[in-house]
Chain A
Amino acid sequence: MIKKVYADNAATTKLSERAFEAMKPYLTEVFGNASSLYSEGGKAKKGVDAARETVAEVLNVQPSEIYFLSGGSEADNWAIKGAAELGAKKGKKHIISSKFEHHAVLHTLEYLEKHGYEVTLLDVHEDGLVRPEELEAAIREDTALITIMFANNEIGTIQPIKELASIAKKHGILFHTDAVQAVGTVSVDIKDLGVDMLSMSSHKFHGPKGVGALYVRKGIRLPNLVHGGAQERGFRAGTENTAGLVGMAEALKESAEVMEERNKRLEKMRDRLIDNLLKIDRSRVNGDRKSRLPGNVNMCFEGIEGESLLLSLDLKGISSSSGSACTSGSLDPSHVLLSIGLPHEIAHGSLRLTFSTENTEEDIDYILEVLPPIVEKLRSMSPLWEKIVSENK
């Protein structure tokens, strides 16, 4: 049987056993509506309340500051559109973000631009990091919101969120961070960070899909997201996804418990993989190597195209991802790789491997055994590689 290595944990993760077990009763006998007054409803409500308390505790905030919703994209949309609406009431219609945000942020900002808002996207430089002084310089009298992602989903670079948030605070501007790749992966203490809003998504840390949360600091009153019943304190109506949010809370708790040891292990695996893949001629790491998610490897191999690399790895049982245009269905390579200054022809040849608690050193061994010959094979049939070699003789 062919060995299987799942190395696309930034896309989604496997549901943990603990989360699954915690969810089970809420998928079967505890089916009541949390809003109902009889005991069946009460049991469901208990589950919802406990989940909120757990999430709040792990992230060091108050339970009343956690709003459950369907996932990271919904959280980003609500935070940004909501803050934009609050800003407009004071005549402030300028938003600052960065060039390599997730599309859930960038497309929301494009929507707002069409509705009269102005957006400044900060450069992320070659290392994939926002510069605090550039944020400060971009602030205007009418800046309503700053939204900068905690960790990039493609290249894994971790932004100096605490510093950025303190600049926003100094100027009295709301600060949101899309922490979808960070929560459950690295330590996130929201009070310490000093952010006003923070998005998270359960399936990125071994929880179920279709559930996430937005942290909204006490005192900020966003406009309602979904009108209807009194769920989520009236801000987001709709019967709770009880099993989903119970699973999310359990997965988050589990992540926090194993985090320190797991990350030490993942960092070692990541660095060994990068060091060895860099031995391949004309390869490069994308994004800063130090300020980086423990399980993120993102590399470019010149002269080959990312999708054919991804497919070749898949034939060997390895699941990966690429920022090549071909995988996204557009003709442009990933905006993230372009934002760090890679030329198109190199950005097309990118490969992302992302690891989680499920991965082992043996997985790294296997990738190191399989990947270099694939690169060699694809290069041997690439006219672009032929050109690169002849031009550099």
Chain B
Amino acid sequence: MAYSEKVMDHFANPRNVGEMENADGVGEVGNPKCGDIMKMYIKVDDDVITDVSFKTFGCGAAIATSSMATELVKGHTIEEALQLTNKAVMEALDGLPPVKVHCSVLAEQAIKAAVSDYYERKGIDPKDVVGEIPEPIECHFEEN
């Protein structure tokens, strides 16, 4: 298994990393037992995501996909951000090893979760806009 240069670049120099104060929406997906959690923060002005940041616990691909996802939605409208697919994140990173595809799914979900939170805070039911956020790819673990 080897990562592309782009993945390694986004892992070594993650863009838009860190907590955001006064975010308009915060979304968190993943499970520590499965080894990854992504948290996305967005700032929204007139339906445009003017700022975005992330915090991620996870492998190299989890960090790189989070970083890339923030770049892909920053400065875009909410509508455009909701169209971001895991495939687009992967393509922008020049691909991911098969076992890491779930990281790109998490990145897509984290953006959607942040947008959902933004709508909820405004008193709007996010389901109508964001739709159902699919469950992450199952992580099978045995309880000790």
- A residues contacting B by CB (< 8 A) are 303-305, 307-308, 311-312, 315, 324-327, 329-333, 338, 341, 343-345, 348, 380-386
Contact = CB atoms under 8 A, between A and B. Distances in A.
Interface residues of B, number: 35
User: Residue among B37, B58, B139, B142 with the most chain A CB within 10 A?
Assistant: B58
A383 B33 contact: no
Contacts of B8: 311, 315
A331 B140 contact: yes
Nearest to B18: A381
Nearest to B53: A381
Interface stretch (B9-17, B71-79, B118-126): B9-17
B57 A384 contact: yes
Given A311-B60, A383-B28, A385-B57, A331 B37 contact: no
B59 A326 contact: yes
A51 to B, nearest CB: 36
A205 B59 CA distance: 31
Nearest to A304: B57
Contacts of A329: 1, 99
A308 B32 contact: no
B43 interface: no
A237 B75 CA distance: 68
Q: Is the interface of B mostly helix, strand, loop or mixed?
A: mixed
Interface of B: 1, 3, 8, 11-12, 14, 17-19, 28, 32-39, 54-63, 99-100, 139-142, 144
Nearest to B61: A326
Contact of B142 (A307, A332, A385): A332
Contacts of B38: 383
A307 B58 CA distance: 8
A197 to B, nearest CB: 31
Contacts of B57: 303-305, 382-385
Contacts of B99: 326, 329-330
B17 A384 contact: no
Contacts of A380: 18
Contacts, number: 87
A341 B142 CA distance: 12
Contact of A381 (B14, B34, B61, B100): B14
Given A303-B57, A311-B60, A329-B99, A383 B34 contact: no
Contacts of B141: 331-332, 344
A330 B35 CA distance: 11
Nearest to B143: A344
A345 B11 contact: no
A308 B144 contact: no
A50 B60 CA distance: 48
Contacts of B3: 311
A72 B102 CA distance: 34
A333 B87 CA distance: 26
Given A331-B35, A381-B17, A307 B144 contact: no
User: Residue among B12, B19, B99, B100 with the most chain A CB within 10 A?
Assistant: B99
B33 A345 contact: yes
A384 B32 contact: yes
A383 B56 CA distance: 6
A8 to B, nearest CB: 16
B3 to A, nearest CB: 8
User: Residue among A308, A324, A345 with the most chain B CB within 10 A?
Assistant: A308
Contact of B140 (A332, A381, A384, A385): A332
Contacts of B39: 383
14 contacts: A307-B60, A308-B59, A312-B12, A324-B59, A326-B35, A326-B61, A329-B99, A331-B139, A332-B140, A333-B35, A344-B32, A345-B35, A381-B17, A381-B18
